[in-house]
Amino acid sequence: MKQNGTLLNLKDKDLELIEEVGDNHVATSLDTPMKPNAHAISDEEKMEKIAEHFAYIMDTLGLDLSDDSLRGTPMRVAKMYVEEVFSGLNPKNKPEVKLFENKYNYKEMLVEKDIKVHSFCEHHFVPIIGVAHVAYINSGKVVGLSKLNRIVDYFAKRPQVQERMTVQIANELKEALGTEDVAVLIDAKHMCVSLRGVEDTSSSTVTASYGGAFQNEETKKEFLQYVYGTK
């Protein structure tokens, strides 16, 4: 990492650590690393700053920003970052969850399969694409099905490490539903694996979080049967 020809206060050991963390996809915390003043400026100001800096990146790469095809790219990228792919960084976009009485007395697990996951690797800012399977056993309250999708989407739409994303979704579901009986399984492909480094296009990464009753082997097995259709 250089600026104006000088290294940005990084020693050789720092560079080695940066490469090691990135190549091994290591997360440093359960919470998404955010500055205390992350929301001090408006979305519009963020987009202006991102567009300015992304234009600098494109110019550094030697791209001609006067070309009609490229002229609007910095602002398009900025808008995509703030309003779409990283919208989960803003707490105002967190879905509100309304619970309903379980009047039909349903006591078995509820499983929502194949929820789309579109996220970004926080180490290289390239896509993570896959599906999430979530399940819960209600404690007397139930939630609309679409809210499960929205909770997954909220935590996916930020720079992520898959292990952290899995736990964040599980913890949010536990809090929202008022029960520890929650399971989350994510199966995803990482473009930082397929586009660079080992360039493996066939592998996927599976992570899971099992809480409460789902730590029981029989309950876990039932959940996995729903997900994979095996006996």
* Co-location of 123 and 221 in the same domain: yes
The helix (run of H) or strand (run of E) holding residue 133 is strand 127-136
* Co-location of 109 and 210 in the same domain: yes
* Co-location of 127 and 220 in the same domain: yes
d(CA 207, CA 173) in angstroms, rounded, equals 16
Please answer whether residues 120 and 128 qualify as being in contact, where contact means their C-beta atoms are separated by less than 8 angstroms: yes
Active site amino acids: 121-124, 162, 190, 192
The verdict on residue 6 lying in a domain is no
The verdict on residue 7 lying in a domain is no
The residue with greater pLDDT, 199 or 81, is 81
The verdict on residue 26 lying in a domain is yes
pLDDT recorded at residue 44: 97
* Co-location of 104 and 68 in the same domain: no
Give the chain's mean pLDDT.
Answer: 90
* Co-location of 224 and 158 in the same domain: yes
Give the domain-ending residue among 23, 58, 93.
93
% the chain with pLDDT above 90: 79
**CATH number of the domain that 175 lies in?**
3.30.1130.10
pLDDT tens profile 36-79: 999 999 999 999 999 999 999 999 999 999 999 999 999 999 99
d(CA 190, CA 125) in angstroms, rounded, equals 10
Range of the domain at 173: 99-228
d(CA 16, CA 30) in angstroms, rounded, equals 23
